[in-house]
Amino acid sequence: MAEDRLHPNLVLERHGNVEVLRVDREEALGALNFEIMEAIGTYVAALPARIDEVRALIITGTGRGFVAGADIGGYHNVGQTVFDGFQRRSRQTFDAIANLPQITICAVNGYALGGGLELALCCDFVFVNEKTKVGLPEIKLGLLPGGGGTQRLTRVVGAMRAKDIMLTGRMVTAAEAVDYGIAMESCAPEALMPRALDYAQLLAGQAPVALRELKRVIDDGMDCALSAGLTLEQRALGALFATKDGKEGIASFIEKRDPKFIGQ
């Protein structure tokens, strides 16, 4: 495993064609300031061009906190321009994560509050540990979620449940997160990263072009009418049939052997 620091509070680990981006700010429970958000954004912006090298990304934290939201101390006594600039940068970063062609997995190792939950909601899959607490408590500051929480959480859990979580500002347990569909699975704390890595490597081993197209068709199809989504599906399937991997997959089935996908 190779490891680099992209920022004093941001560690990058490489596990073959899976990378792990870890927020390393344990003393602040992973709270994000502008500099950390900028570093995450810069890293994520370069990922689409590395699709052949990196097929899956895991985002996690350190210690008891995944990301306990934005660094609220950075909001104190700052002007509107600075505040608005941080919100814009946060949206750019979160949107870039949500739009990555790679598979994204959030391994939530502890508190995921405010921007931490919003970051998790940008990922394809979320795993939590049994001690995880998530929430969007911005109402307690006289504010509201500004990193996509009002929109992404509502799309996951429905309007009534989203209003309950945001209007009360309450913390949601790991079991509730799985029950509501915020997380796919809850693990023992020591099993969280092995489980996330195993799952990432399973997906990274699938036919690369089909993997990307499936993710794209599912995501894009959710934002359009059913008839338009079905058209997306048929066009993508026809395009995949024409690829070398599509031909190889069919041939390997007929010949009763494992396929050798090359990403073309």
By the 10 Å C-beta count (0-12 exposed, 13-18 middle, 19+ buried), 66 is classed as buried
Find the catalytic residue in 26, 27, 53, 118: 118
Distance CA 230, CA 212 (A): 17
pTM of the model: 0.94
Question: Measuring CA to CA, which residue among 73, 3, 85 is closest to residue 31?
Answer: 73
Per-residue model confidence (pLDDT) at position 1: 67
In the residue annotation, 213 being an active-site residue is answered as no
All domains of the chain, ordered by start, with CATH? Answer: 2-204 (3.90.226.10), 208-254 (1.10.12)
Q: What is the mean pLDDT of each run of 10 residues along the chain (264 residues)?
A: 86 96 93 92 97 96 89 80 90 96 97 96 98 96 94 97 98 98 97 98 95 96 94 96 94 92 86
Tens of pLDDT, residues 200-220: 999 999 999 999 999 999 999
Per-residue model confidence (pLDDT) at position 246: 94
Per-residue model confidence (pLDDT) at position 72: 77
Per-residue model confidence (pLDDT) at position 23: 96
Find the catalytic residue in 13, 26, 138, 255: 138
Pinpoint the alpha helices (H) of the chain. Answer: 34-46, 80-98, 115-121, 149-157, 159-168, 174-180, 192-204, 208-222, 226-241, 244-254
